[in-house]
Structure 1
Amino acid sequence: QSLAQFGAAAENFDLSMLPRELFEEQAKKRVALGVILNQAITDFEIKPDREALMAFLDDLAKSYDDPEEVKQHYLSDQNRLQQVEMMLIEKRVVDAVLESATVTEKASSYQDVMEAAQANQG
């Protein structure tokens, strides 16, 4: 899709021609995030929750003309189902981390906050 934006046909484009550096930083971040997420899932003993999955699908499907068809669309495809399960697991990880976190309030000026944000984007 991105290649088409630049006028290149995807089937004729050799990805090995792209510089490795173009993807390296993002790939490192994704791998690190995956490792952290997997460790949090283990530490918090988070498992897929069928009840939460069905509740999510019910909520998602209710805005469609045929809610049952939408639910079956997800339930009939293991890949789609795993994507939804992973999204729900990630949400539970975030909730667990926030519950266990200690929050310390600190007064800061707008300028200090913006400088810290820029430094973190680094």
Structure 2
Amino acid sequence: MGRDEAMIVAGIGCRAGCSGTDIVAAVRACLAMATRAADALAVPCFRADLPAVAEAADMLVLPLVSVTRRALLDAQARCHTRSEAALRATGIASVAEGAALAAAGPDAVLLQPRIVRGGATCALAGDVRS
């Protein structure tokens, strides 16, 4: 992407048993709410190996970015929502927003807070400096 183009990242969170279709539904709903398109799909490293994640990336025709636990933790201060259930399960209170923000870069802002569809969550972030 050129310097004057904003990179938009869809961050996802999902349960271990989530389907690729559930993830795609969450991403599409989030993109529709924000009236944006995504350039990449970001997932926490502890979900990167789930077949549903690869399936969703293929269905959406988006590159998949795995976000480290450290990067997720570092992004938490910029997140708008917090899930006690996610915190108990993963040690991270905002998985989708954290993944989106971390993958979009240190100057990224949240463009669409986390939404929930089935067993998946999605949020959008981007470095919109132009």
Quickly name the TM-score band, shorter chain normalised.
under 0.3
What is the TM-score of this pair, normalised by structure 2? 0.26
Which one has the bigger helix percentage?
1
Q: Kindly indicate which of the two structures has a greater share of residues assigned to strand.
A: 2
